[in-house]
Amino acid sequence: MSVTLPNPAQPLKIGTRGSPLALAQAHETRDRLMAAFDLPVDAFEIVVIKTTGDRITDRPLKDIGGKGLFTREIEAMLLSGGIDIAVHSMKDMPVLQPEGLVLDCYLPREDERDAFVAQGLSGIEALQPGQVVGTSSLRRRAQILHRRRDLRVVEFRGNVQTRLRKLSEGVADCTFLAMAGLNRLGMPQIASAAVAPETMLPAVAQGAIGVERREGDTHTEAMLAAIHDAPTAQRMAAERAYLATLDGSCETPIAGLALLEGDRLWLRGEILRPDGSECLAAEGRAAISDGAALGEDIARDLLSRAPQGFFDWRTG
């Protein structure tokens, strides 16, 4: 089909959160569309939408509602026609979408690893007993306490710049960020070290950007198809099926990572108690076309091995 292209008189409106990282992701999406269709920058409009998660920064996410806090207002604007597409960090996305919206465009995935950030420390092994780790991530909290029961963990919410400021003010001795975010912001040197997945398995979909559209918007669908990255989509199919089967959210310490190995896919998963006292791990390989089924199988394996009371924290 022919594609009706945006123009300066009728620009394509790209919805995003307003943090520097969210804006960098929206700009990457815009720039890829510009290159794919030879369009000028003023054929696009970046629309900043403040979400509940952005407004409330003094409480842990689990206390105010979890992952949807970073997407609800953006998706409402998309449904109402106030924007044409929405750009999301996939690790912020709930596994269920509102009726009428479709997420079938992914940009090439960035480095999925966590970044260890500290002044004068080379990595987790350099931390001394009693030192303080700052993180708002339940997953990172559980993983670091599972490895190092001798460390203290404090709440550390905010965008990349806010967390770096808190670190410089001595609120904590170290923190963890996403390598993908640092790379997209042009700040990879901030990381003291990239943490191997064997040490800290990353969040499901970390490093991936998804672009959401309205169902039935065939012109936008055709545009987004030109910048869609199939390998990232294959990895997302496995990771998000795994997450959905676990019924995971920001309130659950869940880690997962899918990697492509030729025509096969390797998926690793972990679930942890929030205090780090217990960690269950599983992995498997399958044909890429069976990635979603593999994700479900890995999740069911973990659920079957979880002891009595393992998930009490989910509803308590």
CATH of the domain at 307: 3.30.160.40
57 pLDDT above the threshold of 70 = no
pLDDT for the residue numbered 62: 55
Looking at the domain assignment, is residue 295 inside a domain? yes
Express each pLDDT in 97-148 by its tens digit. 899 999 999 999 999 999 999 988 999 999 999 999 999 899 999 999 999 9
Q: Of the listed 38, 54, 92, 275, which one is catalytic?
A: 92
Whether 267 has a pLDDT exceeding 80, the answer reads: yes
On whether residue 6 sits in a domain, the answer given is: no
Q: What is the domain count for the chain?
A: 3
Strand 174-178 versus strand 132-134 pairing type: parallel
* Same domain membership, residue 257 and residue 120: no
- Which pLDDT score, from 0 to 100, does residue 71 have? 86
Q: What is the pLDDT of residue 97?
A: 87
Q: What is the pTM of this model?
A: 0.91
Q: Let me know whether 284 and 160 are in one domain.
A: no
Same domain, 217 and 76: yes
The DSSP result for 68-135, as a single string, is: GGGTHHHHHHHHHTS-SEEEEEGGG--SS--TTEEEEEEPPP---SEEEE-TT--SGGGPPTT-EEE-
Indicate whether 46 and 91 sit together in one domain: yes
What are 176-233's pLDDT values in tens digits? 999 999 999 999 999 999 999 999 999 999 999 999 999 999 999 999 999 999 999 9
Cβ proximity of 240 and 296 under 8 Å: no
Residue 60 has pLDDT above 80, yes or no: no
Is the pLDDT at 316 greater than 50, yes or no?
Answer: no
Percent of the chain with pLDDT over 90: 78
Diameter over CA atoms, the chain: 63
Residue 308 has pLDDT above 80, yes or no: no
> pLDDT above 70 covers what percent of the chain?
91
Is pLDDT of 163 > 80?
yes
Q: Which domain holds residue 165?
A: 114-195
- pLDDT at position 247 is 80
Q: Which of 4-8, 37-41, 246-250, 270-274 has the lowest mean pLDDT?
A: 246-250
Give me the phi and psi of 282, to 5 degrees please: -150, 160
User: Is 5 within the bounds of a domain?
Assistant: no
CB 5 within 8 A of CB 37: yes
Q: What is the pLDDT of residue 232?
A: 98
Write the DSSP string, 243-308: HHHHT--TTS-EEEEEEEETTEEEEEEEEE-TTSS-EEEEEEEEEGGGHHHHHHHHHHHHHHHPPT
CATH at residue 177? 3.40.190.10
Task: Give catalytic status of residue 290 as yes or no.
Answer: no
| Cβ atoms of 68 and 91 closer than 8 Å | no
Mean pLDDT estimate for the chain: 91
245 and 308 part of one domain: yes
